Amino acid sequence: MGGAECILLAILIEISQVAMFLQCRKNDKLQRLEFVVP
């Protein structure tokens, strides 16, 4: 049981990190668009 919980926790952490990374990249693209379009 404990091992399965650790695996699930690790997967959740990975997903949250990927989601944060994608969110940062999306924000970066939006900021670049703002710089390009006056």
How much is the pLDDT for 20? 92
Residue 16 exposure: Cα atoms within 13 Å on the Cβ side: 6
Buried b (16+ CB within 10 A) or exposed e, 10-19: eeeeeeeeee
Q: Give pTM, 2 decimals.
A: 0.58
How much is the pLDDT for 29? 78
Per-residue pLDDT reduced to its tens digit, 1-38: 578 999 999 999 999 999 999 988 888 877 776 766 66
